[in-house]
Amino acid sequence: MGAGTTNPKYFDFERYATLEGYAYDVLAILEELHVSLCMFVGHSLSSMVGALASIIRPDLFSKLVIVAASPRFLSTDEHFGGFEQEDIDQLCGAMESNYQAWCSRFTPLVVGGDMNSVPVQEFSRTLFSMRPGIEATNLDPTITPNPIIKHTIIPIIKQTTISIIKQSLSTIQKSLLYNTGKDHKKSSKSQHIALSVFRMIFQFNLRNLLSHVTLHLLSHIIQSSKGLAVPVVVSDYLHRNLGGKSVVEIIAVKGHLPQLSSPEVTVPVLLRHIRCYKINMICDTFGVVEWPWNLTHPVC
């Protein structure tokens, strides 16, 4: 909510001030589709949304495949998240003063490319969609979405997801769904959706809840070898602190959005981890304790 083709008027600043609002959205979607078991594939913040949703309703999630995820982006004395408080304050100040200029500087850094590249242009459009009333004048209208993403990633993920989701008569309990009892707040153009989301991203802290992610099957952690937002050490932190078993794979790409900047490398890795679902199910069915791959570099 708040980006893409969603109506910005229905972005609830109170609801989405924490990860819980997004997690309950995921549960609401699963209820609407009558999904009783699923594999969750998420990137960055969405990864932690899926992790939190799996804590609330572990019976609905068999496995997590998370890309460039972090339980906390802000660094502390005992945790290296990648950003210092001073960095965040400066970024927020830049967003408030000149959103267009901020996007022009921030997007190439986080994606890992120049402003005229297709991945950077695509990500810039998503950022501008989060700020009603601000036009993306620096974007090239002749650049169209990456065909690899449109014709390869999306259809495969849809097909794979449909094939592994099991339908049953059980539905999500209504009492678990987030409900403020209020109508959605209608935001004016003066309200800054992007800044609100940005602040939430750098304020959330899921470190103390990682041990509660105890899915029946493996969690798969995929990380770029060089990314601005999430250092490689964070993937190891997740691996050591998730409650259930997990595997980590570091892929030789740069940028925080490898599925966008390097789909030719990232998509095969994603598909391999997604297809491991069937192997996981076989191992679990026959009571195999030792998983048939190295915990650092899965080969299934």
> Which pairs from 101-105 meet CB under 8 Å and 24+ separation?
103/127, 103/128, 103/136, 103/138, 104/138
In CATH terms, is domain 8-81+146-189+207-285 a member of 3.40.50.1820? Answer: yes
Which tens digit of pLDDT belongs to each residue from 233-280?
999 999 999 998 899 999 999 889 999 889 999 999 999 988 875 555
Predicted confidence (pLDDT) at residue 168 exceeds the cutoff of 80? no
CB neighbourhood size of 28 (10 A): 16
Which tens digit of pLDDT belongs to each residue from 98-152?
888 888 888 888 888 888 888 888 888 888 777 655 444 444 444 444 444 444 4
Rounded Cα–Cα distance for residues 61 and 299 (Å): 23
Return the axis-axis angle of helices 45-56 and 19-32, rounded to nearest 10°: 70
Half-sphere exposure of 246 (CA within 13 A, CB side): 25
- Kindly give the pairing relationship between strand 246-254 and strand 219-226: parallel
For residue 177, name the pLDDT band (cuts at 50, 70, 90). very low
Predicted confidence (pLDDT) at residue 293 exceeds the cutoff of 60? no
For residue 228, name the pLDDT band (cuts at 50, 70, 90). confident
One DSSP character per residue, 52-85 reads HHHHH-GGGEEEEEEES--S-SB--SS---SB-H
